[in-house]
Amino acid sequence: MLHAAQGMSDGDWTIIAVLVGILAIATLIGAVVLALKVWKTKKMLGDLGAGGKVAFYGALIYTVFPVDLLPDPVYLDDMGVLTAALIYLTKLYHKRRAEQPGIRQG
């Protein structure tokens, strides 16, 4: 049987498909974990301010929006956006905690 890439057997394509499936599942789990962390950080902050709202809602909308830089089910770009939002929100949280010692620690 001829394939687009000569020398590739059906078994090779099966292995590639399984690896792609594992990557898709792993990145989906990573994106969900990051989204939950972003959500928990937002809850700790309470009032986000304009920058925090843009980071929070922008990251979540980008994650669920079907048009991405990389086609889903590869969630690497979604994980990057969520990570950036989490870093920003965490820095915002630490800044507020330093300014107001009465903020609840999580």
Tell me, letter by letter, the H, E, C secondary structure of the chain: CCCCCCCCCHHHHHHHHHHHHHHHHHHHHHHHHHHHHHHHHHHHHCCCHHHHHHHHHHHHHHHHCCCCCCCCCCCHHHHHHHHHHHHHHHHHHHHHHHHCCCCCCC
Could you tell me if residue 90 is inside a domain? Answer: yes
Give the residue numbers spanning the domain of 68: 28-99
What count of other Cβ atoms lies within 10 Å of the Cβ of residue 73?
13
16 lies in some domain: no
Domain membership flag for residue 56? yes
Per-residue pLDDT, 73: 65
Is 63 inside a domain boundary?
A: yes
88 in a structural domain = yes
Per-residue pLDDT tens for 60-104? 888 888 777 666 667 788 888 899 999 999 898 888 888 876 555
Check residue 105 and give its pLDDT.
53
- How many separate domains does the chain show? 1
Is 23 within a domain? no
In a domain, residue 35? The reply is yes
pLDDT by residue (tens digit) across 41-54? 888 877 778 888 88
The answer to whether residue 5 sits within a structural domain is no
